[in-house]
Homo-oligomer: A and B are copies of this chain.
Amino acid sequence: MQDLRTIGQKAKAAARQMRLADAQAKNEALEEMAQAIEAKAAQIIEANQEDLAKGQEAGLTEALLERLTLTPDRIQGMANGLRQMASLPDPLLVTDKEWINRDGLRISRRRVPLGVIGIIYESRPNVTVDAAGLTLKAGNSTILRGGKEALTSNQTIVAILQDALAETQLPREAVQLITNPSRKLASQFMQMNDYVDCLIPRGSAGLIQAVLKQATVPVIETGEGNCHLYIHEAADFDKALKILINGKTQRPSVCNALENLIIDEQVASDYLPKFVDALAAHNVEVVGDHKACSIDRRIALAQEEDFAQEFLDLKLAVKITSSYAEAVEHIEAYSTGHSDAIITENYQVAQDFMNDIDSAAVYVNASTRFTDGEVFGFGGEIGISTQKLHARGPMGLEALTSYKYTIQGDGQIRS
């Protein structure tokens, strides 16, 4: 039986070593980890088969089993991901700013790691490698707490990563896994303020809410995306159609997929039927307000909650608006602050939209599907934050760091 306190102490000791590790040592460790994953792919597949067999017995849904499954391709993807991280600039080689204050003190704000990061996640075992790699690259140690469905896969992967780390200058305990699936233990983990600097839950809304409720350790909330596409009266039809179909159908199950369509009534009777044609060709179910239904009979009347909900499926809610102000108000009322877009050729309206909408990512004439750390150019992401504290939107390596001030004087005292 694992002792959480021991895990915490080891993580803290490892964090101390990690904090002082140089960029090269970390990159070599990532390469070592990548090679180990490749060399032991068969062992990972075997462990994964065990989890899959148990999952089938336990009656997991097809979708869950799919997420749980590791194939040789997916394992290669994990190794490639680690090498990609090694190639990224080190986020700690940065001084944000430096100045001299009125007392003649030289004050520098330097990037430092967060310390010990706890990651709480669900069934995807690739998160294990991804999270371990990113947190390590940013100079942290990690305590992972995965879902019990993936326990054997995760144990195998973490053992491989730890053995690889043992071959490097970095501490083996830079990556640890909580193997006891007890919820009580998980809850204790979320309150280990003496050992854990930050918790990042990755998974369903239920998981995230549970962590927020129980944690006393600071949490970075990665949340739901009830994303809107607003077709302004000055929209270009071709861009609108293309971006609508991309946002709704390219990968409907993810948080940056579109859930809501807003159309200015000036263009609605012209555009909406063509949109519904295209959506129907992609098997998207469309619901809408009274005005939308009256424009196109194929649209079913939406319930109030349809506008507030993340369908994560081939379903879309349509609202017809009579002004820009009404559209902004609707987005403010229903958006979860993840990603919202406008299609317009009007310069001033585009500027206003970027100011008015208070979401992590605000788009003009582009698909909300771009909200992603890799696409943004961060080289990867640990999640997409929907809170405003610390980090917002796609979180790359910088979100896994903090800063400290160094103050250099020559004998100054405060008067």
Contact = CB atoms under 8 A, between A and B. Distances in A.
B404 A101 contact: no
Contact of A392 (B198, B358, B359, B402): B402
Given A218-B218, A414-B250, A198 B363 contact: no
A197 B375 contact: no
A105 B350 CA distance: 15
Interface string A69-105: 0000000000000000000000000000001011101
Interface residues of A, number: 71
B332 A370 contact: no
B407 A107 contact: no
Contacts of A20: 355-356
A355 to B, nearest CB: 7
Contacts of A412: 365-367, 370
A395 to B, nearest CB: 12
Given A387-B218, A389-B198, A377 B413 contact: no
Contacts of A102: 375, 377
Interface centre among A103, A412, A414 (most CB of B within 10 A): A414
Contact of A414 (B107, B221, B246): B246
Interface centre among A105, A332, A361, A410 (most CB of B within 10 A): A105
A406 to B, nearest CB: 4
B389 A197 contact: yes
Contacts of A247: 413
How many identical subunits does the complex contain? 2
Interface centre among A101, A356, A366 (most CB of B within 10 A): A366
A124 to B, nearest CB: 20
A376 B101 contact: yes
B393 A390 contact: no
A101 B377 contact: yes
Main secondary structure, interface of A, reads mixed
Interface stretch (A234-242, A269-277, A311-319): A234-242
B402 A388 contact: yes
B362 A406 contact: yes
A362 B411 contact: no
A338 to B, nearest CB: 11
A409 B364 contact: yes
Given A238-B411, A362-B407, 13 more contacts: A16-B332, A16-B358, A102-B375, A107-B377, A112-B358, A197-B387, A197-B388, A245-B413, A354-B408, A363-B408, A370-B414, A371-B405, A392-B405
Pairs A-B, 10 closest by C-beta atoms:
A366-B409, A246-B413, A388-B402, A239-B411, A369-B414, A390-B390, A218-B389, A354-B406, A366-B412, A389-B390
Interface of A: 16, 19-20, 99, 101-103, 105, 107, 112, 114-115, 193, 197-198, 212-213, 216, 218-221, 236, 238-239, 242-243, 245-247, 250, 332, 350, 354-356, 358-367, 369-371, 375-377, 387-390, 392-393, 402-414
